[in-house]
Amino acid sequence: MVEDRIQVGAGHMPTLGLGLWKLPEQSVASTVVDAVAAGYRHVDSAADYGNEEAVGEGLRQVLKTTDVVRDDLWVTSKLWNTFHRPEHVRAACERSLRDLGLDYLDLYLIHFPIALKYVDFSDRYPPEWIYDPTAEVPRMEPDLVPIAETWGAMEGLVEAGLVKEIGVCNFNTGLLHDLIASSRRPPALLQVESHPYLTQERLIRLAHQYDMAVTAFSPLGSLSYLELGMAEAQECLLDESVVCAAAERLQRSSAQVLLRWGLQRGTAVIPKTSQLERLRENIDVFDFSLSDAEMNAISALNRNRRFNDPGLFCEEAFGSFYPIYD
């Protein structure tokens, strides 16, 4: 049995949400409207996706033209790396709220355990990774801010009523232990890359042990990373024989099998798509079940293949070796 909501702190988050990374500014508003019409009640946004104003336009249309009210929706956003200093956290959150046209977020996450030098809103927004794109050698510039300091400011956002729940992304087990030890309000959710090539059993088990919900990003594996040159075409989970066999038995698509696998192992999943048919396909995963044997066979595909690895892309693209996983 898979619930369509899971507990996140005091809230209940729909287990299937729409990922908004790389959805183009010109079309993301209509994608949000289509998603809500297709039954989505959860969107996964971030300042860094550069489309929050357009997402806000979509949310406004939904709230104006349908019976859906704000409380029916679960909106997540994320604190970007350049805003980790406690004095910048509230302004970053308020900017996301303003762009999204909301007066509260359901969940606000630290996007990466990576603090970068502050870039003012008037200089560039979103600031992305490079400190000064006009420099002779443009590169990212780390700023060593203790996570506990950033977290204290995140806790302040809950106290100020700007966000209902707070959590983290891309943390490893060691960072989670430390954060729990130093926090007044423990993180309600961990969002990490997870799919059958990167099952992350220990990390997910630890998060659950700490009563944190877990959201799996990039639940379809390599697909999101092909266009970025960060994955090879042959690393395609959709073509794996155990995935295809389950899809054949259930008369479902491989993508639906992968999303169902993520749900049945107790994580939320947030697939991104720009295509209407796939929006419908991806949420239509609540009326069938994978058998234990299918779950085990799909989990056995694990090869600890991480597509979203700052230890690689920060050096290749931003000139700074900055690993966060061993």
> What residues have CB less than 8 Å from 181, skipping those under 6 apart?
none
CB of 136 to ligand NAP, least distance (A): 30
Q: Tell me whether residue 123 or residue 231 sits nearer to ligand NAP (CB atom).
A: 231
Nearer to ligand NAP, 58 or 271 (CB): 271
Active-site residue flag, 225: no
CB of 219 to ligand NAP, least distance (A): 5
Q: Token pair of 314, please?
A: 């920060």
| CA pair distance 230, 223, nearest whole angstrom | 10
Q: Which is nearer to ligand NAP, 115 or 255 (CB)?
A: 255
Residue of 49, 108, 118, 197 marked active site:
49
> Residue numbers of the site for ligand NAP (CB under 6 A)?
19-21, 44, 111, 169-170, 191, 217-220, 223-224, 253, 255, 270-275, 278, 281-282, 308
Nearer to ligand NAP, 46 or 119 (CB): 46
Q: Shortest approach of ligand NAP to residue 193 CB, angstroms?
A: 6
CB of 188 to ligand NAP, least distance (A): 15
The separation between CA 185 and the C-alpha centre of its own chain, rounded to angstroms, equals: 21
Smallest separation (angstroms) from ligand NAP to the CB of 181: 23
Minimum distance from residue 135 beta carbon to ligand NAP (Å): 25
| Closest CB to ligand NAP among residues 191, 267 | 191
Q: Which is nearer to ligand NAP, 93 or 169 (CB)?
A: 169
Cβ-in-10-Å burial (0-12, 13-18, 19+) of 275 comes to exposed
Residues with catalytic function: 49
